[in-house]
């Protein structure tokens, strides 16, 4: 299906960013790797502009919250090379209290609302973003609702506790 | 405008008027607000406000077992909910490593392509209404009703379908359903032909839509557009062809591509996609005849909810029912991204699983949300009446926008 394999892709990335990528895995054939906040824009730029790779399509930006981890907030990029028909997933983890990221709007205009959504739900501040406001929630909301500490329902309710449902 | 006594095009204007287009304006077909700064009838700048029907689906999904998330996906793009349902089922099946029987794949293709047709009927019909031609819309709505009756025969509901289950379908298609599908295949093509005859070379319609809101392929890609909008701009990206799911690779269909991404091109691409969908349904029906007619789900009792009669009368079914509902079954500790070609573009499900009965994190890549962000920037310099038909042809569905 795809014209280059994950190994080729990984070798290309490692040739330039050897010490900056870690935790490489391939869940369901989708190359997944972690990098640092300092290197993420360089890596995205390389993937987008490299003549052989051409990851010109930004599929999605989202985030995830692991309250127990050392670096709690993970920002996840999905890119797609339409030319080679291969996808890649890149993660950056940042510590709570220092949830800042450089913006990807310099590379893709479409990153604008994706980053606004990520800010809206996880409080990730994208530095250099042209218009970083909440996008789906009301402007005067004070919490970041997709973080795990924010409950779905009234936490005082006892009839819906997880242990009633085998968790 | 040019000969206006006070304001001319050359006049450096300092005062603009502000117009609140929406949140509930009949011309926007949904709850979107756009605050437009106008110079006469021309848009100087605009700011989009969305989120009026945000329902926190991603948060709710973290507290629901997998099979209860299907009704949430219904409410994303409610003009083609079966595609969302199937996309979600396939995501979970990919996670669990369930292999579908061919017959289920073909049944899914029939349902998904019917849903694509209904979605495009709405979009193109409403585009006609917004350009002043009501007839086409009324002609086409009859066939949407026909498709809804097919859904009714299969799953019992019409708009928010909750069709199918993880692991297959909840019941087999009966002969009435097949009869209705065949009837639709026979009656819809002449109507679609008539619809095209009304519009495609209609001078008023062509003048009204051609070169309106034209988008280059570079811009479309930069804004992560997908689906008919990206294809109208000349990029042949279709998930069904690039990363075939549900046995699409066995089918013979074409990916229509436009040239300059204007409203007229989008209209033509959607019309052609309806023809291709009809082809796909016909092929799927032919393929179905060669498959054993009693298979409508995979043999995965630990994930496929058993029929209710069996739960009451059969010990094993009762146990599995209990285990599925109570979330007693271990699921892989991994993450999966699965994309399907929704009616509006790449509908993606990013699911991070921690082995429990509900996702640790579920993110919907909603094409409407991503497609809509170009609306305000591209409206600059446009006439307000052009901006209205531009919004119609973007086919922004409020449910998919807000999630």
- Tell me the pLDDT band of B4, cut-offs 50, 70 and 90: very low
Looking at the DSSP bridge assignments, the partners of residue B338 are: B349
How far is residue B314's CA from residue A20's CA, in Å, rounded to a whole number? 56
The answer to whether B51 contacts chain A (CB < 8 Å) is yes
The domain of B357 spans 57-402
- Tell me the pLDDT band of B1, cut-offs 50, 70 and 90: very low
Q: Give the pLDDT confidence of B195-207 residue by residue, as tens digits.
A: 999 999 999 999 9
Q: Which of B363, B364, B378 is best to mutate for the A interface (most A CBs within 10 A)? A: B363
Which pLDDT score is estimated for B266?
95
How far is residue B126's CA from residue B114's CA, in Å, rounded to a whole number? 18
Domain ranges for chain A: 6-153
Which pLDDT score is estimated for B11?
57
Number of neighbouring beta carbons within 10 Å of residue B290: 9
The mean per-residue pLDDT over the stretch A67-88 comes to 93
The answer to whether A106 contacts chain B (CB < 8 Å) is no
Residue B36 pLDDT > 60: yes
Instruction: Return contacts of B277-280, CB within 8 angstroms, 24+ apart.
Output: B277/B113, B277/B114, B277/B116, B277/B117, B278/B113, B278/B117, B278/B185, B278/B188, B278/B189, B278/B192, B279/B252, B279/B253, B280/B109, B280/B113, B280/B251, B280/B253
Q: Looking at beta carbons, which residues of chain B come within 8 Å of A164?
A: none
DSSP state of B249: G
Mean of the per-residue pLDDT values of chain B: 90
Over the Cα atoms of chain A, what is R_g?
18
Q: Which chain A residue has the Cα nearest residue B52?
A: A136
User: Would residue B326 count as lying in a domain?
Assistant: yes
User: Would residue B35 count as lying in a domain?
Assistant: no
CATH code where residue B92 lies: 1.10.645.10
Which pLDDT score is estimated for B14?
66
Look at the pTM and tell me if it is higher than 0.95.
no
Which pLDDT score is estimated for B13?
58
Tell if the CB–CB gap between A78 and B365 is shorter than 8 Å: yes
**Most confident region among A3-12, A17-26, B284-293 by mean pLDDT:** B284-293
Which pLDDT score is estimated for B29?
77
Of A76-85, B20-29, B95-104, which range is least confident? B20-29
User: Would residue B328 count as lying in a domain?
Assistant: yes
The DSSP line for B293-326 is TT--B-S-TTTSPPPHHHHHH-HHHHHHHHHHHH
User: Would residue B233 count as lying in a domain?
Assistant: yes
Q: Looking at beta carbons, which residues of chain B come within 8 Å of A117?
A: 369
Q: Looking at beta carbons, which residues of chain A come within 8 Å of B51?
A: 134-138
Which pLDDT score is estimated for A70?
92
Q: Looking at beta carbons, which residues of chain A come within 8 Å of B241?
A: none
Tell if the CB–CB gap between B243 and A1 is shorter than 8 Å: yes
Q: Which chain A residue has the Cα nearest residue B402?
A: A136
User: Would residue B6 count as lying in a domain?
Assistant: no
Residue tagged 């502000």 (tokens): B18
The answer to whether A60 contacts chain B (CB < 8 Å) is yes
Looking at the DSSP bridge assignments, the partners of residue A74 are: A64, A93
How far is residue A133's CA from residue A152's CA, in Å, rounded to a whole number? 23
Handedness of CA A109, A110, A111, A114 (dihedral sign): positive
Selection from B174, B212, B287 nearest residue B43 by Cα? B212
Which pLDDT score is estimated for B277?
96
What three-state secondary structure class fits B203? helix
Tell if the CB–CB gap between A108 and B223 is shorter than 8 Å: yes
The answer to whether A54 contacts chain B (CB < 8 Å) is no
How far is residue B120's CA from residue B271's CA, in Å, rounded to a whole number? 7
Which pLDDT score is estimated for A154?
66
Which pLDDT score is estimated for B203?
92
The answer to whether A62 contacts chain B (CB < 8 Å) is yes
Q: How far is B108 from chain A (nearest CA, A)?
A: 22
With 0-12 CB in 10 A as exposed, 13-18 as middle and 19+ as buried, what is B145? exposed
* The two structure tokens encoding residue A162: 């997880």
- Tell me the pLDDT band of B208, cut-offs 50, 70 and 90: very high
Of A142-151, B22-31, B271-280, which range is least confident? B22-31
Which pLDDT score is estimated for B7?
47
User: Would residue B228 count as lying in a domain?
Assistant: yes
A-contacting residues in B 199-238 (Cβ below 8 Å): 219, 221-225, 235, 237
We find that the CATH architecture of domain A6-153 is 2-Layer Sandwich (3.30)
Report the domain count for chain B.
1
Q: Give the pLDDT confidence of B240-268 residue by residue, as tens digits.
A: 999 999 999 999 999 999 999 999 999 99
DSSP state of B34: E
How many cross-chain Cβ pairs, A to B, lie less than 8 Å apart? 102
User: Would residue B69 count as lying in a domain?
Assistant: yes
How far is residue B389's CA from residue B395's CA, in Å, rounded to a whole number? 10
Over the Cα atoms of chain B, what is R_g?
23
The mean per-residue pLDDT over the stretch A24-28 comes to 92
Which pLDDT score is estimated for B2?
40
User: Would residue B52 count as lying in a domain?
Assistant: no
Cα B129 to Cα A160, B38, B123: the distances in Å are: 48, 24, 10
């Amino acid at each position: 299906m795809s014209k280059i394999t994950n190994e080729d892709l990984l070798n290309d990335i490692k040739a330039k960013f050897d010490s900056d990528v870690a935790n490489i895995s391939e869940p369901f054939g989708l190359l997944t790797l972690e990098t640092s906040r300092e290197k993420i824009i360089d890596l995205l730029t390389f993937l987008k502009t490299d003549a052989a790779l051409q990851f010109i399509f930004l599929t999605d930006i989202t985030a995830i919250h692991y309250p127990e981890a050392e670096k709690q907030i993970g920002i996840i990029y999905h890119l797609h090379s339409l030319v080679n028909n291969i996808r890649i997933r890149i993660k950056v983890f940042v510590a709570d209290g220092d949830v800042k990221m450089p913006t990807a709007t310099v590379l893709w205009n479409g990153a604008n609302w994706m980053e606004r959504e990520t800010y809206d739900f996880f409080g990730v501040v994208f530095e250099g973003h042209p218009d970083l406001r909440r996008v789906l929630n009301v402007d005067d909301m004070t919490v970041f609702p997709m973080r795990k500490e924010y409950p779905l329902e009234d936490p005082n309710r006892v009839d819906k506790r997880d242990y009633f449902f085998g968790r | 405008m040019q000969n206006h006594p006070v304001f001319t095009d050359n006049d450096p204007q300092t005062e603009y008027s502000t117009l609140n287009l929406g949140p509930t304006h009949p011309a926007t077909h949904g709850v979107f607000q756009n605050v437009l700064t106008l110079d006469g009838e021309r848009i100087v700048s605009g700011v989009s406000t969305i989120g009026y029907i945000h329902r926190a689906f991603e948060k709710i999904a973290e507290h629901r077992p997998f099979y209860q998330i299907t009704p949430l996906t219904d409410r994303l793009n409610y003009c083609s909910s079966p595609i969302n349902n199937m996309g979600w089922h396939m995501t979970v099946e990919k996670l669990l490593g369930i292999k579908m029987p061919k017959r289920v794949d073909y049944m899914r293709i029939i349902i998904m392509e019917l849903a694509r047709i209904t979605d495009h009927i709405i979009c193109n019909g409403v585009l006609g209404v917004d350009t002043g031609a009501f007839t086409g819309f009324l002609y086409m709505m009859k066939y949407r009703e026909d498709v809804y009756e097919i859904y009714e025969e299969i799953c019992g509901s019409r708009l928010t379908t909750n069709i199918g289950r993880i692991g297959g379908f909840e019941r087999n298609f009966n002969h009435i359903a097949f009869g209705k599908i065949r009837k639709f295949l026979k009656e819809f093509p002449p109507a679609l032909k008539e619809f095209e005859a009304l519009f495609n070379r209609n001078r008023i319609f062509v003048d009204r839509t051609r070169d309106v809101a034209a988008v280059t392929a570079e811009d479309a890609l930069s804004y992560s557009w997908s689906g008919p909008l990206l294809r109208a701009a000349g990029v042949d990206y279709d998930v069904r062809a690039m990363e075939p799911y549900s046995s699409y690779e066995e089918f013979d269909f074409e990916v229509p591509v436009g040239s300059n991404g204007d409203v007229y091109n989008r209209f033509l691409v959607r019309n052609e996609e309806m023809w291709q969908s009809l082809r796909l349904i016909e092929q799927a029906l032919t393929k179905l005849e060669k498959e054993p007619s009693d298979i409508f789900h995979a043999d995965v009792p630990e994930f496929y909810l058993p029929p209710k009669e069996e739960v009451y009368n059969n010990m094993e079914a009762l146990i599995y029912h209990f285990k599925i509902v109570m979330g007693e079954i271990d699921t892989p500790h991994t993450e999966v991204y699965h994309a399907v070609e929704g009616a509006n573009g790449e509908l993606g499900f990013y699911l991070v699983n921690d082995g429990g009965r509900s996702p640790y994190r579920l993110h919907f890549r909603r094409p409407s949300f991503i497609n809509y962000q170009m609306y305000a920037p591209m409206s600059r310099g446009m006439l307000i009446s052009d901006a209205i038909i531009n919004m119609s042809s973007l086919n922004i569905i409020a449910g998919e926008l807000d999630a």
